Amino acid sequence: MADKAQARSESESPIHIMPRSTLSTEANKTGSWRYLRPRYEEKTAPCSAACPAGEDIGKIEMLTAQGLFKEAWETILRENPFPGICGRVCFHPCEGACNRGEFDDPIAIHSLERFLADTAERYDLKPLMERLPGRPEKVAIAGAGPSGLAAAWFLAQLGYTCDVFEASAEAGGILRWGIPLYRLPLAALQREVAQVEAQGVRIHTGRPVTADLLRDLENAYQAVYLACGHGRTTALRVPGEETDGVGDGLQFLERVRRGETPDVKGVSAVIGGGNTAVDVARTIVRLGGEALILYRRRRQDMPAFGDEVQMALDEGVGLRELVAPERIEKDGDRVLVTLRQMRIAGEEGGRGRIEPDGDRLSRVTVDRLFKATGAEAAEGWYNPPAAGKGIVALSHCALSIRDGGPALAWGGDLANDVKSVVHAVASGKQAAIALDTLFREGPDSILLKLEACTVGNGPPLSMEIHMGGERRLRNRHVVAYGEINTDYFRYTPRMTQPRLVREERARSFAEIDLRVSGNIAMREAERCFNCGLCNQCDNCHLFCPDLAVIRGKDGQGRHINYDYCKGCGLCVVECPRNAMTLEEEGR
Amino acid sequence: MKRVLEGSQAVAEAVRLARVQVVSAYPITPQTHIVEFLSEYCASGTMNARFLRVESEHSCMAALIGAQSTGVRTFTATSGQGLALMHELLHWASGARLPIVMAEVNRALAPGWNIWVDQTDSLAQRDTGWIQFYCEDSQEVVDTTLQAYRLAESVALPVMVVLDAFFLSHTYEPVDVPEQEQVDRFLPPYEARFRLDTAAPCSFGPLVPPAVYMEMRHDIAQAMEKALSTFREIEDEYAGIFGRRYGAVEAVCCDDAEIVLVTSGTITSTARSVLEDLRGRGEKAGLLKIKLFRPFPVDDVRRALGGAKKIAVIDRNFSFGASGIFAQELRAALCNVPGHAPVFGYVAGIGGRDVTPAVLEDIYWKTKNSAAPERESVWIGLQEVSHGS
Amino acid sequence: MDLELSDREFMYSGHVGCPGCGAAIAMRFLLKALGDKMMMVLPACCWSVIAGPYPTTTLKVPVIHSAFETGGAVASGVRAALDMKGDTETTVVTWAGDGGTFDIGFQALSGAVERNEDFIYVCYDNEAYMNTGIQRSSSTPYGAWTTTTPGKDWKKMRKKNIVEALAAHRIPYAATASISHPEDLVRKVKRAQATKGSRFLHIFASCPTGWKIPSEMAVKIARMAVQTNIFPLYEVEEGLHYTINVKPKRYPVREYFKIQGRFQHLTDADLDVIQKMVDEDWELLLRKAGEHA
């Protein structure tokens, strides 16, 4: 008996038993009460499901908040070799999906991505990338633009030797020749191109991919990936298009990137509403001219990034909405453009559907005109074939698999509905995974393998999952805002991306977005909910009434002691970020 | 050293000598003087103890349960309503095996506020597992209180030292107050068998299921029984040091008595002089004083009353629906003795009414002149009451 | 969260608290904040049973279970004994439910505090006599169903304000706390530990069983009580100086009441009355703290 005490002296009578407890209650395994069982189950953050490259954004922000910048940067590189580029030019669909946006403001993911790349550059960090053992197959890539370079990057991780053939004297494609310096400085591009080469990728410049070269490549390589891009401006199909004084927007940008200073005296009109049109207009301003954008829909319908449009207007670029070119004529030294007034007839897929506003026309006389209404492949045969036997049409690329011949793949602007850098990266990844599967297991496994490494509901893919990393254990359920326990967060304003003051911007091609300091970045990253991921906040351990949540050594990792867990579910509800799941016992 | 002390102060002196460490106090006539004396002793430093001025008698006992469980010697005093209020915790103290000692000044229970002597209050607590001693004079109070600590700590049960209101508590008598170093020899410092201790944590008083509760209560019953022999040993030791003993009972002239009066408390002193008087007139009378009431000294009582032809018990108390309580206990003690004498129960002195020599004489002659008891209890000295007043 | 809490645990698993028991969470926080140089007086309440049957105990500290009404008195005795033994390190803590504090135990608590006994009295409040099966106490809030305030007889008396009652004693330190705000709770426990004389902590400990809510909502409901000003978090020093610790955005009380089964019978009109009562009490507290809405 716990309380027995022998008499300590002859005069003391013993107490044989009395109400006094000394044993612990641990023999009572209260886990037997349970009919619901909690478990740790990480899920998918909406940002990573919205990022075409499937970057593990929730994890990236978690590492950044902890000050583990190199680890965060490497986490990006697993899924996207271009954080420095995307951190400057991406249209950040991630921020639109950010759950925090429903609480106060979305996380400044875009700025943080750039911060991490800047940090890597500042400290000259070299990434430690996981690579699979070398494979015998060799892949040739046509075009050293974002898609081609991304494909090379991912194939290198998978163990393949790649040769990239680039027509121009320098790698980069639209990154080198299209996007202006004030958005993407040359050094940032060159650094990330060098990073790809450091993986063992060989880039051969001055080697345009002609039909002849393609034949040679098909003989020497087991696969050829065509990523030549949309290098040619589409025609206006308007009378007078050939008039002297009408220029090609893309060519104009390339000339400026080559160091030329084309004449932009007077007023230049730019027809179009995409990023190219805005880039052309803002470049003109920096060269000393005046720019006027003529767009057939409304400002809010412009495909160009809203920020860019606003900055263009701030820099003095003019904008005329709801005007479509009718006819172009020479007017002495100048160019006369007849414009048809348009009006909105309804909304369609988020954009206004337009129709001519009766017979209303107007005229404008300018010194020159630039076309920037869209682009297409420079050569017709660059384009992927239509669907048919042996053709696998994927979300971001197309594959042609032939018996007794190398595989052909098309990606980037050639195969994407949305023409953006991050979609180009997505193409490269999808093609790399598809080719890798083709080589290791055969064509019938391609769709299965792509499905297996899908993030959320797709189409983004994850290289980490494909390579068997921890991310494969996550549930693909995309965490909704309603599943976040917002009691644990306070309204905190989003960081402000520092920029050159307005008066400074248009004076030169100096980069407008400025660097961000580490403490600002960490504070911003701390705002991230880390949807679906465990960030060691310890709420589960803290609130368990039965002490059934056990912490691992150094406070890292937790597990549940099912001997005592009564299945109350508190841990699951108090997990701010839905990294736990409650399910029926015995399932 | 011999001093003339009020009965209350005799209690206080014994408590001081016992080196009690925590006293809890709540006033109620007629015990208040006891705690007032102790309060002065503590304030002046004569006594090194914490004096807790709690806000009710229930809290008095609760505080002592806490203090004793932490491992120190404790004391409190109460009376009448106060004891009744403590009832729940009297059970607790014995169930927790805590050797608390309390002075209980017998006082009548309300309604009808009555501050005078009546034994019903302490006897109503006879089932609580407390050892009970009924004292006759101030000397006995001092000696019994000191012995109470030895006894309590030996059998791990609480002890109640009972004294009559006013006749004992407020009467001045000469008392031989022992010297501290003599008492220290008799009563060593308290060493708790179990206590609250951060070095060896345990939980006192948890939930106890039927499977073991009975065994715990049996242990208490056995300790109570052991108290009989332990008391005898302690009295022997005390007599050796201080030269005084009282016995669980005291039989006076019982060997050849035909009628034995059974008394307790101060009535005993009156009975002694009545006995002398009766004997002087040739009556074969005897007197049995009951000192130890719980545990009831069955063997001592059977021995003392073995030769009696009639037994007259005087109860200054009553258990409604039954009888005077000492009479009940006596009948229970004797019922299995073949051919035992009949027990005549008398109720006298209720609510402080005087029990004079005349009352005791009346009881003696009633007993002698009745062949058998006419009823369980005969109430002595009742007045005519007119109905509807 | 920035909690300065020992990694050590002072209670075992295997206790018989209901799943999601707020009282178990409260005890766990208290023990971790206080450490093991303490003795606990535990009058009759849910924890008398939660702590486990003889010969076991869930608690790793010395405990004396005591009668229902004796929390303040037994602690006074324990403290007196420790003083006589020259122990200045050990803290005496009474751990009682609302029944044993607001009702039957109020006398002993008031007596102990009036004497400024040197101990910490912690009341974990689940707003009814839960151990005996959900009967009404003076801590049960206005509007609640209990087995002794059923149907039309739902409780139409306000919840007794125990902190105010003790402030009138000029108690050196009194504070409210909630299991939903662990940082605040721990800070107050440590503050109490560092103060001498009588100290009182009123901890809001939700009860899924008695309040008829799903067990996983126990912490959230406690948080909602704070956010709606139904259970404000504040401290009182010397019974005179009030400090409000959390000023929520004043969410309407409706949501708090709608979630709990014990309030299902309340109409919109009833809830309006309650909202007014809560607003008035909050205004009063602000004035006491020298602040404005």
Q: What is the CATH number of domain A138-231+377-471?
A: 3.50.50.60
- Would you give the DSSP letter of residue A386? P
Residue whose entry in the numeric block shows the structure tokens 């002296």: A9
Instruction: Kindly list the distances between the CA atom of residue A422 and the CA atoms of A12, A88, A400, in Å, as whole numbers in the listed order.
Output: 87, 11, 23
Which C positions 22-51 lie with beta carbon below 8 A of chain B?
A: 36-39, 41, 48-49, 51
Query: Is the CB of C20 less than 8 angstroms away from the CB of A564?
Result: no
Considering chain A, tell me which residue range(s) the CATH 1.10.1060 domain(s) occupy: 52-127+477-526
A307/A373 Cα distance (integer angstroms): 19
DSSP per-residue codes, C256-292: HHHH-GGGTT--HHHHHHHHHHHHHHHHHHHHHTT--
Residue B173, number of CB atoms within 10 A of its CB: 15
- SS3 per-residue string spanning C112-133: HHHCCCCCEEEEEECCCECCCC
Hey, what are A365's tokens? 């006389």
CATH superfamily of C22-288: Thiamin diphosphate (ThDP)-binding fold, Pyr/PP domains (3.40.50.970)
- Name the phi and psi angles at A521, rounded to 5: -65, -45
C2/chain A closest Cα distance in angstroms: 10
Q: What is the CATH number of domain B2-242?
A: 3.40.50.970
pLDDT at A349: 75
Hey, which chains touch A, using 3+ CB pairs under 8 Å? B, C
Tell me how long chain A is.
587
Helix (H) or strand (E) run with residue B209 in it: none
Architecture of domain A52-127+477-526: Orthogonal Bundle (1.10)
Whether residue C55 is preceded by a cis peptide bond, meaning omega within 30 degrees of 0, is: yes
Instruction: Kindly list the distances between the CA atom of residue B333 and the CA atoms of A578, B306, B341, in Å, as whole numbers in the listed order.
Output: 75, 12, 12
Question: Closest by alpha carbon to B283, among B164, B166, B199, B367?
Answer: B367
DSSP per-residue codes, B127-155: TSS-EEEE-SSHHHHHHHHHHHHHHHHHH
Which residues of chain C make contact with A19, given a CB cutoff of 8 A? 54
pLDDT at C293: 67
Which residues of chain C make contact with A34, given a CB cutoff of 8 A? 19
Residue B16 has pLDDT above 60, yes or no: yes
Considering chain B, tell me which residue range(s) the CATH 3.40.50.970 domain(s) occupy: 2-242
Work out the average pLDDT over B113-129.
Answer: 98
CATH classification number, A27-42+534-584, choose in 3.30.1050.10, 3.30.70.20, 3.40.1010.10, 3.40.50.261? 3.30.70.20
pLDDT at A348: 78
Residue A92 identity: H
C177/C234 Cα distance (integer angstroms): 8
Considering chain A, tell me which residue range(s) the CATH 3.50.50.60 domain(s) occupy: 138-231+377-471, 235-372
Cβ distance A158 to A464 under 8 Å?
A: no
Which residues of chain C make contact with B21, given a CB cutoff of 8 A? 81, 84
Q: What is the CA radius of gyration of chain C?
A: 18
Mean pLDDT over all residues of chain B?
A: 97
Question: Closest by alpha carbon to A47, among A58, A62, A36?
Answer: A58
Which residues of chain A make contact with C220, given a CB cutoff of 8 A? 485, 487, 573-574
- Name the phi and psi angles at C200, rounded to 5: -130, 130
Residue B224 has pLDDT above 70, yes or no: yes
B10/B16 Cα distance (integer angstroms): 10
- The partner residue sitting opposite A545, judged by closest CB among C24, C54, C220, is C24
Contacts of A398 (CB under 8 A, 6+ apart): A384, A385, A391, A392, A409, A410, A411, A415
| pLDDT tens, per residue, chain A with 587 residues | 334 444 456 668 899 999 999 999 999 999 999 999 999 999 999 999 999 999 999 999 999 999 999 999 999 999 999 999 999 999 999 999 999 999 999 999 999 999 999 999 999 999 999 999 999 999 999 999 999 999 999 999 999 999 999 999 999 999 999 999 999 999 999 999 999 999 999 999 999 999 999 999 999 999 999 999 998 999 999 999 999 999 999 999 999 999 999 999 999 999 999 999 999 999 999 999 999 999 999 999 999 999 899 999 999 999 999 999 999 999 999 999 999 999 998 887 777 788 999 899 999 999 999 999 999 998 888 898 888 888 899 999 999 998 888 999 999 999 998 999 999 999 999 999 999 999 999 999 999 999 999 999 989 999 999 999 999 999 999 999 999 999 999 999 999 999 999 889 999 999 999 999 999 999 999 999 999 999 999 999 999 999 999 998 876 789 999 999 999 999 999 999 999 999 999 86
- The partner residue sitting opposite B216, judged by closest CB among A5, A13, A17, is A17
Which residues of chain C make contact with A537, given a CB cutoff of 8 A? 1
Hey, what are A284's tokens? 């003109």
C269/chain B closest Cα distance in angstroms: 44
Instruction: Kindly list the distances between the CA atom of residue A552 and the CA atoms of A62, A116, A535, A557, in Å, as whole numbers in the listed order.
Output: 19, 30, 14, 5
**Residues of chain A contacting B, Cβ within 8 Å:** 2-3, 5, 8, 11-13, 15-22
Considering chain A, tell me which residue range(s) the CATH 3.30.70.20 domain(s) occupy: 27-42+534-584
- The partner residue sitting opposite C13, judged by closest CB among A538, A547, A568, is A547
Hey, what are A359's tokens? 């017979």
pLDDT at A10: 61
Query: Is the CB of A23 less than 8 angstroms away from the CB of C219?
Result: no
Which residues of chain B make contact with C70, given a CB cutoff of 8 A? 58-59, 62, 65, 89
Helix (H) or strand (E) run with residue B352 in it: none
Its pTM stands at 0.92
A vs B, Cβ pairs < 8 A, gives: 54
For residue A359, the cross-strand partners are: none
B79/B85 Cα distance (integer angstroms): 10
Find the distance separating the first CA and the last CA of chain C, reported in whole Å: 28
Query: Is the CB of A27 less than 8 angstroms away from the CB of C220?
Result: no
Architecture of domain B250-379: 3-Layer(aba) Sandwich (3.40)
A317/A313 Cα distance (integer angstroms): 5
Cβ distance C96 to C68 under 8 Å?
A: no
Residue B97, number of CB atoms within 10 A of its CB: 25
pLDDT at A4: 45
Tens-digit pLDDT profile for residues B149-171: 999 999 999 999 999 999 999 99
Torsion of CA B248, B252, B254, B255, to 10 degrees: 100
For chain C, which ranges sit under pLDDT 70?
A: 1-2, 293
Which residues of chain B make contact with C53, given a CB cutoff of 8 A? 206-209
**Any chain B CB within 8 A of the CB of C287?**
no
pLDDT at A553: 80
Cβ distance C17 to C24 under 8 Å?
A: yes
Q: Is the dihedral of CA A519, A524, A527, A532 positive or negative?
A: negative
Question: Closest by alpha carbon to A274, among A322, A239, A242, A306?
Answer: A306
CATH superfamily of A235-372: FAD/NAD(P)-binding domain (3.50.50.60)
Residue whose entry in the numeric block shows the structure tokens 């220029």: A247
